[in-house]
Amino acid sequence: MLVKKRDLQGKKHDSSFPFLAINYCLKQAKNSNLEIEAFVYYEKPIRVFMRLLETYFNTAPRGFSSFLPAMKSWISEKLFIKYNIIKQLKGFDPNIEEDKLFFSEHHLSHAAAAFYPSPFKKAIILCMDAVGEWVTTSAWTGEDNKIEPIWEIDFPDSIGMLYSAFTYYCGFKVNSGEYKLMGLAPYGKPKYYEIIKKKLITIREDGSFKLNMKYFKYHRGLKMISSKFINLFGHNPRDPKDSIEEFHMDIASSIQAVTEEIIIKIVNNLSLKTNIENLCLSGGVALNCVANGKLLENSKFKNIWVQPASGDSGSAVGSALSYLYIHKKKERIIKNTDSMNSSYLGPEFQESQIREYLDSLDVKYKKLEGNNLFLETAEKLSKGLVVGWFQDKMEYGPRSLGNRSILGDPRIVDMQKKNEYKNKK
């Protein structure tokens, strides 16, 4: 299949059709003499469409400004996603038939991604994110090759959406800046913890919750929060260009504390009700590693396994494994360690390929080995320079684990700003 040069340019959170990723997977299968049996999509789009319709009708006439563009997008392309996927796949292989394409449910994909690669024969699975088709939080039991639902919480009540609302309020980008809010929290104090619990959310003893939707607009508009939310805290949403104040640190600390309380209550209630000692986590909220650390200290579960690509990217693994074990009923072979064999699942390149690529760009380079490589890297960092670290296979998921990293000296206060300036120049 012909891939245009512009398709090779990296784009963060790219939602376009994954030509390069599929092409890589097909090549890997061919090199291993494997035949592709099925293609699996991680959610059921028609159910997402029905949720959007019902939500807009329930909040009408409010939300009309976001209803029209959403419907235009769905009617023009998303409703026909099955046929569009098949059409694109035929670009790789004209003989691909429709019956090779399957659709998993969103939270089932999360649950499968959490449980099947884990080292547990039996476990509780907790999935927490913004929203799937309808579900925002779900609990499951996994045993051998089976996954069964326990309970679920539906949209618009959502831990993920609550956290994203505060991400937006503190001036970070929704669906990508939540880790910044988490990183900001330790610098503040949870001064607004009680206000959040009193006004924004009702948390029950079992961890189930309900949001006060008067303070939010994500279910009916183009913004995350309402004017009541802004009036409650007395500050306008921070412009991303503005500096971060103590107020934003305290807000971050407060919502982090509330989020941790919800998660710990849910987890401990599941432990009490099921008496199962293993827990698997997935969904975007499971990327909150600070909350996961609190679970290790306060959870009644003996063992915890977190899918490293807990967001929707991990659902690629989950949907494939749900097809394998639930649809095909394949026997699950359980290993003492995770079956993913770490998060280093992406492409790797031979030295000859790297040299050929650098030569094609007329880049000057030299080869260093052993301690010489580490010493020169340390020297560059100490001088305030940025080092791109590239080795072995690419990491799977949003956390940089050392194989694809941008390194800088954290002792230099304006390190990030200084190098942003240089890059713009």
Domain-embedded: residue 254: no
Tokens for 69, please give them: 């563009």
pLDDT of res. 2: 39
pLDDT of res. 9: 57
Per-position pLDDT tens, the chain of length 425:
434 444 445 677 777 889 998 999 999 999 999 999 999 999 998 888 888 778 777 766 666 666 667 677 666 667 788 889 999 999 998 988 899 999 999 999 999 999 999 999 999 999 999 999 999 999 999 999 999 999 999 999 999 999 999 999 999 999 999 999 999 999 999 999 999 999 999 999 999 999 999 999 998 877 899 999 999 999 999 999 999 999 999 999 999 999 999 999 999 999 999 999 999 999 999 999 999 999 999 999 999 999 999 999 999 999 999 999 999 999 999 988 888 878 998 899 999 999 999 999 999 999 999 999 999 999 999 999 999 999 999 999 888 889 999 999 988 888 877 655 454 44
CA distance 245 to 170: 10
319: left (phi over 0), alpha (psi -120 to 50) or beta: alpha
Phi and psi at 403, nearest 5°, equal -95, -25
Q: Based on the structure, what is the number of domains in the chain?
A: 1
386 lies in which domain range? 351-424
Domain-embedded: residue 135: no
Phi and psi at 32, nearest 5°, equal -100, 10
Domain-embedded: residue 99: no
Site of tokens 């669906």 = 175
Domain-embedded: residue 179: no
Domain-embedded: residue 237: no
Compute the residue count for the chain: 425
Identify the helix (H) or strand (E) that includes residue 388.
strand 387-390
pLDDT of res. 221: 72
Domain-embedded: residue 411: yes
Identify the helix (H) or strand (E) that includes residue 355.
helix 351-360
Distances (CA, A) of 292 to 160, 209, 309, 371: 15, 19, 14, 35
Among 207, 191, 218, CA closest to 62:
218
CA distance 411 to 391: 25
Cβ proximity of 262 and 95 under 8 Å: no
CA distance 38 to 196: 46
Domain-embedded: residue 387: yes
Domain-embedded: residue 397: yes
Phi and psi at 245, nearest 5°, equal -105, 170
Distances (CA, A) of 215 to 223, 233, 239, 240, 255: 11, 11, 20, 22, 15
